[in-house]
């Protein structure tokens, strides 16, 4: 596991793991080590993680109001969401007119995003927590083209 400060091209924390350790294990510990390694003069902090970071402990810590009291202030974050069935239904039910195109691939596949109305069952959420925002991402093949599974679209989601 590696925590990388992109602008400085600097590794802030890393952890070598055995091959049988799940990706979701101890993501919070690595994130905390990385943020504690930042210099005191940092004015803004952000976190970007893949779906292995879509883990209750880490998201609760990132979203906790106490982060705003630390040097660097609140941590802005974006984590790829695990497409659980309820989230997949919410993304698939977004109205067609709500999707915004932000890119086009060489084969004509459109890259699109939309706000997703989704409230997960979060028994771990604190009263002071800011509600999470979910954004759906959609890859839409050009007319007549399909993905390998025979569909013309793929859905993903991120939370922040």
d(CA 22, CA 57): 15
- Regarding whether 27 and 10 lie in a shared domain, the answer is yes
Q: What is the pTM of this model?
A: 0.81
d(CA 31, CA 50): 13
- Regarding whether 97 and 74 lie in a shared domain, the answer is no
- Regarding whether 107 and 47 lie in a shared domain, the answer is no
Number of domains in the chain: 2
- Regarding whether 125 and 73 lie in a shared domain, the answer is no
d(CA 91, CA 118): 8
Per-position pLDDT tens, the chain of length 160: 889 998 899 999 988 877 777 777 789 999 999 999 999 899 999 999 999 899 888 999 999 989 998 988 999 999 999 899 999 999 999 999 999 999 999 999 999 999 999 887 655 555 666 778 999 999 999 888 889 999 999 999 988 8
Q: Which residues pair with 49 in a beta bridge?
A: 79
- Regarding whether 133 and 67 lie in a shared domain, the answer is no
Pairing of strands 45-49, 75-80: parallel
| Domain final position from 79, 113, 136 | 79
- The parent domain of residue 139 ranges over 81-160
Angle value at C-alpha 150, between 147 and 153, nearest 5 degrees: 55
- Regarding whether 119 and 62 lie in a shared domain, the answer is no
């Amino acid at each position: 596991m590696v925590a990388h400060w992109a602008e400085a091209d600097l590794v802030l924390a890393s952890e070598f793991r055995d091959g049988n350790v799940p990706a979701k294990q101890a993501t919070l510990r690595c994130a905390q080590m990385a943020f504690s390694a930042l210099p005191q003069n940092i004015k803004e902090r952000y976190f970007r993680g893949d779906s292995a970071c879509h883990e209750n402990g880490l998201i609760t810590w990132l979203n906790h109001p106490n982060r705003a009291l630390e040097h660097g202030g609140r941590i802005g974050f974006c984590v790829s969401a695990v497409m659980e069935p309820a989230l997949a239904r919410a993304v698939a039910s977004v109205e067609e007119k709500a999707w915004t195109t932000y890119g086009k691939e060489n084969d004509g596949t459109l890259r699109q995003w939309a706000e997703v109305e989704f409230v997960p069952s979060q028994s771990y959420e604190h009263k002071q927590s800011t509600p999470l925002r979910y954004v759906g991402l959609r890859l839409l093949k050009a007319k007549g083209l399909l993905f390998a599974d025979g569909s013309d679209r793929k859905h993903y989601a991120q939370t922040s």
